[in-house]
Amino acid sequence: MPFLSATLDRVKPSPTIAVTTKAAELKAAGVDVIGLGAGEPDFDTPANIQAAGKAAISNGHTRYTAVDGIPELKQAICAKFKRDNHLDYTPAQISVGTGGKQVLYNAFMATLNPGDEVIIPAPYWVSYPDMVLLGGGTPVCIETSLERNFKLTAEQLEAAITPKTKWFLFNSPSNPTGAGYSHDELKALTDVLMRHPHVWVMTDDMYEHLVFGDFKFCTPAEVEPQLYDRTLTVNGVSKAYAMTGWRIGYAAGPEMLIKAMRKVQSQSTSNPCSISQYAAVEALNGPQDFLAPNAKLFERRRDLVVNALNACPGITCPTPEGAFYVYPSIADCIGKSSAKGTLIDTDEAFATALLEDTGVAVVFGAAFGLSPYFRVSYATSDAQLTEACARIKTFCEGLN
Ligand SMILES: Cc1ncc(COP(=O)(O)O)c(C=O)c1O
């Protein structure tokens, strides 16, 4: 009898770990490494939110709480959905977990049966397919293209739906591409879903507040109110409020689903950290005026990186609508050799050679299910970004 669970055989170890480990090794050996891999803002949690966390400790909010969130936080989340998304929810329709990651995981664990399919547009956030596999379901990954700005078309969605489809997993703006769906682009997808009443939507709105220029964020239940009864809207405080370490994410959806997710959480972690929950109340109820300047800062960095990467021979970098990532193509680099003689036959080979030769750490596209690309996180200083892009340019100029 094998000791380890057979379910784990279906799950791949994170392909990003190889790059991260290599970068750490080089750094330890004294190499000047610039990491463009981090998926988190490069600034501290705003002072008012920090203060709310400290006050929670002083006020004795250090005990177990209700499994899926304190009433104050559920109220703040309902108010947020009303304010930002024009969606009406009651506290009984809200689930709070240890990060958006746990909330997504709970939703899959609570709903998937063997054979159930989950449609995931590729490239995707690395955890989606493996979470589906852990839940016993089948990920159905549909490749998008750079030509269509990495957005799934209505035709692609229609073709992917089968009688076994349980969820359509939607993420806009996206990790890893930054692509954001406009109202009309999303409406085209929700129109397809209206023709398939057995398919539910799980929307990961984590990057809602990081959108640029004229782009207007929208979410499925807002664009198509008739989908309200089969939509789980997932969000969190990690990215918008620079609270990645506090671990608070949340979701809103039909009460029977929220109850089932609570059951999963009650037998795993129980409540998310009590102190973090009080800090999240302040994040959602407190001043929101730093969000817009913050998005402006990221927009400037996006422009810096897109311009610099498009000046590199062999790289094509589209301009995304949001998040803090770009996902450039290296199709024109494939088949060449680096100045040090390494054959660049895959995007993994590109990222490895780039790291070894220049000290710039990026994540290769295969990790996100679409090659040949790489992901750059521009959540770092202008100086670091400028230097990293200069090194990438030298590396590309050396390919032949
Ligand atoms: C698209 C997306 N969804 C969800 C998460 C999870 O965020 P958290 O668990 O910190 O709330 C991340 C984090 O990188 C993400 O990029």
User: What is the whole-number distance in angstroms between the Cα of residue 22 and the centre of ligand 1?
Assistant: 23
pLDDT digits (tens, 9 = 90+) for 250-295: 999 999 999 999 999 999 999 999 999 999 999 999 999 999 999 9
Report which ligand 1 atom has the smallest distance to the Cα of 104. 4
pTM of this structure: 0.97
The span from the CA of 33 to the CA of 354, in Å, is: 11
pLDDT number for residue 1: 87
Instruction: Please report which residue ranges of the chain form alpha helices under DSSP H.
Output: 6-9, 16-28, 47-58, 71-85, 99-111, 127-134, 154-160, 183-194, 220-223, 255-266, 274-285, 291-310, 347-358, 382-397
pLDDT number for residue 291: 95
Question: What is the β-pairing status of strands 325-326 and 374-377?
Answer: antiparallel
Report the length, in residues, of the chain. 400
CATH 1.10.10.10 fits 60-285, yes or no: no
Quote the tokens at residue 153: 């078309």
Q: 116-135: string of b/e by CB count within 10 Å (b at 16+)? A: bbbbbbbbbbbebbbbbbbb
pLDDT number for residue 80: 98
User: What is the whole-number distance in angstroms between the Cα of residue 223 and the centre of ligand 1?
Assistant: 23
Quote the tokens at residue 363: 């994540």
pLDDT number for residue 140: 98
pLDDT number for residue 23: 84
**Block means of pLDDT (10 residues each) for the chain, length 400 residues?**
88 73 88 90 95 98 98 98 98 98 98 97 96 96 97 98 98 98 98 98 98 98 98 98 97 98 98 98 97 96 98 98 98 97 96 95 96 96 96 97
Numbered ranges of CATH 3.90.1150.10 in the chain: 6-44+291-397
The span from the CA of 48 to the CA of 278, in Å, is: 11
Judge if the beta carbon of residue 125 lies within 6 A of ligand 1. Answer: yes
Q: Kindly report the CATH number that applies to the domain delimited by 6-44+291-397.
A: 3.90.1150.10
pLDDT digits (tens, 9 = 90+) for 72-89: 999 999 999 999 999 999
pLDDT number for residue 392: 98
Numbered ranges of CATH 3.40.640.10 in the chain: 60-285
Choose which residue among 174, 206, 265 to substitute to test ligand 1 binding: the one with the highest number of ligand atoms within 8 A of its C-beta: 206
Choose which residue among 172, 239, 363 to substitute to test ligand 1 binding: the one with the highest number of ligand atoms within 8 A of its C-beta: 239
pLDDT number for residue 19: 72
pLDDT digits (tens, 9 = 90+) for 174-224: 999 999 999 999 999 999 999 999 999 999 999 999 999 999 999 999 999
